[in-house]
Amino acid sequence: LMSRLGAAFARVVHEHRLYAQGTKEDGRSNLQVGLSQFLTFRVEAWIASTPRWKELVLGGFVLVLVVAGGLVLWAVSGDATLGEAVWLAWVYVVDTAAHANAPEGSQRAVALVITVGGMLVFSFLVSILTDNLASLMAALKEGKDQMVLRDHTVLLGWS
């Protein structure tokens, strides 16, 4: 996974260098493009070409939140193993009241940050579910689904 991410990052940096130099590999002239503008375009292109991009972003955010939070918790608490710290970070993400039991000091501050991240995760999850449900309802209203009926009479041209 890390080698794929590294290769993808190297490819994007190489593409940006080609654009920043003002030429493509075939020698044609190109507009000067800054790195932030180039990355914005690449992210927008990925969003446009990935049907379930919201779910992927949410899953990636949860993974980063749990792993990074677990590593920080492991660093600030001297007695927990790495596995226990990652599990505790997961508990802070999914349970908004769990940080109240954290020991005072830096561990409680880290727990609070992870919990706020968990609140963002669940608000994003609710918005994804709402959006998907609204899309489903709109598709049902269009009435383009196949009808599976028996012993019915269809009247055409009736209003």
Mean pLDDT of 125-153: 88
Residue reference for tokens 């609140």? 119
In which element (H, E) is residue 28 found?
Answer: none
What the block records as the tokens of 76 is: 């600030």
C-alpha distances in angstroms, 84 versus 25, 110, 121?
50, 15, 21
In which element (H, E) is residue 75 found?
Answer: helix 53-76
Least confident of 9-23, 65-79, 87-101, 143-157: 9-23
Least confident of 20-24, 41-45, 131-135: 20-24
Whole-angstrom Cα distance, residue 13 to residue 34? 12
What the block records as the tokens of 99 is: 């940080």
Q: Which residues make Cβ contacts (< 8 Å) with residue 18, sequence separation at least 6?
A: 24, 25, 30
What the block records as the tokens of 109 is: 């501050």
Mean pLDDT of 139-154: 84
The tens digit of pLDDT for each residue in 64-122 reads 999 999 999 999 988 889 999 999 999 999 998 888 888 888 888 999 999 999 999 99
Confidence of residue 157 (pLDDT cuts 50, 70, 90): confident
Confidence of residue 30 (pLDDT cuts 50, 70, 90): low
Nearest one of 143, 129, 144, 94 to 114, comparing CA atoms: 94
Q: What is the pLDDT of residue 146?
A: 81
Average pLDDT, the chain: 85
Q: What is the pLDDT of residue 144?
A: 76
Confidence of residue 22 (pLDDT cuts 50, 70, 90): low
pTM greater than 0.75: no
What the block records as the tokens of 34 is: 């800054």
Q: What is the pLDDT of residue 155?
A: 84
